[in-house]
Amino acid sequence: IDEALASERPLVLIFSTPAFCHSRTCGPSLEVVKSVWRSNAGELDAIHVEVFENPEESESLREAPAFEEWRLPSEPWVFVIDRDGRIFSRYEGTITEAELRGDVVVVLGR
């Protein structure tokens, strides 16, 4: 995340755990992020952070350090971050492709 922020390119950052999501919105939200990123890959970075550092050990899941650092109370969370590293928008839970595309247009300066 630090490297992406230092690149001075807009960033879409999603914290989600599709396999273990309590709200059942992680998978669909991740697909929205992927779709928007694919359409803008030359100008936009995207990072998916798995909420758990050990998703293969479902009996003893541990939250990933990045998830803990951001002090998020739930999942999924999507952040749109501008070229200056400032959070432009944030979404907890479901996000639509139209919402995310609208934010990306703004941070890309279109």
Q: If we measure between CA atoms, which residue out of 75, 105, 110 comes closest to residue 92?
A: 75
Name the residue type at position 108.
L
pLDDT of 55 reads: 87
The per-residue pLDDT of the chain, averaged, comes to 95
16 in Cβ contact with 29 (< 8 Å): yes
**Token reading at 39:** 């359409």
pLDDT, averaged in runs of 10, over the chain (110 residues): 94 94 89 97 95 90 95 96 97 96 96
Rg, Å, the chain Cα set: 14
Q: Say how far apart CA 102 and CA 106 lie, in whole Å.
A: 7
Model pTM score: 0.93
